[in-house]
């Protein structure tokens, strides 16, 4: 069975990396309005998850458990 538990530090690090990646993409001047809006929406979601830190982590782990259970069944 796949290890479905990641540490809170790993979870937070992943979100920080994702936030930095999206911010870097937003600097690209060649983005269409649609792409920019989509990235801004993704960034807002990541920032929301970062601000909720512990609650977001718990929601993330519960989501992973549910996905694994759905795959197994």
The pLDDT value recorded for residue 53 is: 72
Residue 44 token pair: 């807002």
The pLDDT value recorded for residue 49 is: 80
> Where exactly are the structural domains of the chain?
8-72
pLDDT tens-digit readout, 29-57: 788 889 999 999 999 988 888 877 777 77
Q: Tell me the pTM.
A: 0.59
What CA–CA distance (Å, rounded) separates 31 from 26?
Answer: 8
pLDDT band at 19 (very low <50, low <70, confident <90, very high): very high
């Amino acid at each position: 069975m796949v290890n479905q538990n990641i540490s809170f530090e790993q979870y937070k690090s992943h979100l920080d990396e994702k936030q930095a990646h999206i911010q870097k993409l937003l600097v690209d001047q060649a983005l269409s309005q649609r792409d920019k809006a989509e990235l801004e929406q993704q960034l807002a979601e990541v920032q929301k998850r970062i601000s909720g830190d512990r609650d977001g982590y718990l929601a993330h782990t519960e989501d992973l458990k549910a996905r694994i259970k759905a795959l197994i069944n």
